[in-house]
Amino acid sequence: MRHVALLIETSGSYGRGLLRGVSKYNRERGGWSTYFHPHGLGDPPPPWLRNWRGDGILARIDTPEIAQLLLKSGVPVVNLRGTVAELPFPYVGPDHDQIAKLAAEHLMERGLKNFAFCGKPAGIHPGLDERGTTFAEVVRQAGGNCDVFPADCPVDEDNWEMEQERLAKWLHSLAKPVGVMACNDERGLQVLDACRRCSAAVPDEIAVIGADNDEHLCDLSIPPLTSVDVNAENIGYTAAALLDQMMQGVKPPDLAQRLAPRGIFTRLSTDTVASDDEEVNRALRYVRENSCQGLRVVDVLAYMGMSRASLQQRLKRIIGRTIHEEIERVRLARVKELLLSPEMTIKQVARATGFSSVQYMTRVFRAALSETPARYRSRRNK
């Protein structure tokens, strides 16, 4: 039996997700004796680490001091936090580029033309910086502009009220309607609080998306926060598998392993459609609210009291999709969201999203994503 130490915090949902992934691997293939003692990020090195004698360590390394102690331990180590540069340990973590791309695409699909990114001062967390850089680049490639907070101003995290007032002032200054990506859910909670302080309507004036899908923070927000699920459980599972190989003498990869997010969990903070054409906005809201009830193109036309040619032309001009394509897009987005819930069977997902059969849903899903719903679920729920 190998002895493995876990230096992973339990204070946030990301750390708890990592631990779920590690425990899943250990049940399936590890059979390790695991040493774990709760601690938080930024805590000093635990006293036991100086004299610990085991076979491997999974750690969220957040200080050079802890890195030095882990190096002295002489055992295989896998790092699960990317804030300390040039560490001699293999790293497994989220793909920040993919997270930012998903967030940008989600906001652009809502017809928004103005965008902003709310991060932290450069250098605090390189991964969060990367999210901001990629988000702005995706927006620029689509022909838009992206404001950034806090720019070059330091964040005074010890003065909540002052920081929130500064954030509210920045949000008030943005051209509306605007889509804002927060670097993580903690920042997203702050953004939504600041929106209320400056009387900005969410999501109609400011649509907000976070990252990490911390359910407690997302539900604490007013309104609930849409977030990119980074799939921390899969990251923990992959890191555990890598450590197992290293303990067997296998050389780790030279490059960091960056794993794709699971997808977006849509909540009320981005439940909006933005365009200068109010009739198009009304049609899109109707599609969004009814697409999973077997909605057809003729139903949309009847609701709007418009000809197919007229509505189709305006939709294509504003969102680049036909009525039918928009119905299918909204339905498939809901399918992907429900497939992330392991308690629902694929048959139940088909029924909940208005498909007449699993076979029909599979055909539409495969045509759009080049894989079956079962395969999509398997990849995302590793």
What local confidence, expressed as pLDDT, does residue 323 receive?
93
pTM for the whole thing?
0.79
- 61, 92 in Cβ contact below 8 A? no
Q: Which two three-digit tokens encode residue 317? A: 């001009």
From the candidate CATH numbers 3.40.50.300, 3.30.565.10, 1.10.10.10, 3.40.50.2300, the one assigned to the domain spanning 96-231+264-270: 3.40.50.2300
Residue with tokens 């896998």: 78
* CATH class assigned to 278-380: mainly alpha
What local confidence, expressed as pLDDT, does residue 289 receive?
85
Q: What is the DSSP letter of 184?
A: S
What local confidence, expressed as pLDDT, does residue 275 receive?
73
**Would you give the distance in Å from CA 296 to the centre of its chain?**
31
Q: Measured between alpha carbons, how far is residue 277 from residues 111, 144, 311, 319 in Å?
A: 11, 19, 11, 11
- 39, 6 in Cβ contact below 8 A? no
Q: Alpha-carbon distance 137 to 193, whole Å?
A: 27
CATH of region 3-93+233-259: 3.40.50.2300
What local confidence, expressed as pLDDT, does residue 43 receive?
81
Q: Where are the domains of the chain?
A: 3-93+233-259, 96-231+264-270, 278-380
What local confidence, expressed as pLDDT, does residue 271 receive?
80
Chain length of the chain = 382
What local confidence, expressed as pLDDT, does residue 49 receive?
84
Domains 3-93+233-259 and 96-231+264-270 share a fold: yes
Q: Alpha-carbon distance 90 to 257, whole Å?
A: 8
Q: Which residues of the chain have pLDDT under 50?
A: none
Dihedral sign for Cα atoms in the order 89, 90, 92, 94 = positive
Q: Alpha-carbon distance 264 to 49, whole Å?
A: 38
Q: How many CB atoms lie within 10 A of CB 345?
A: 10
- 208, 195 in Cβ contact below 8 A? yes
What local confidence, expressed as pLDDT, does residue 151 receive?
60
What local confidence, expressed as pLDDT, does residue 212 receive?
94
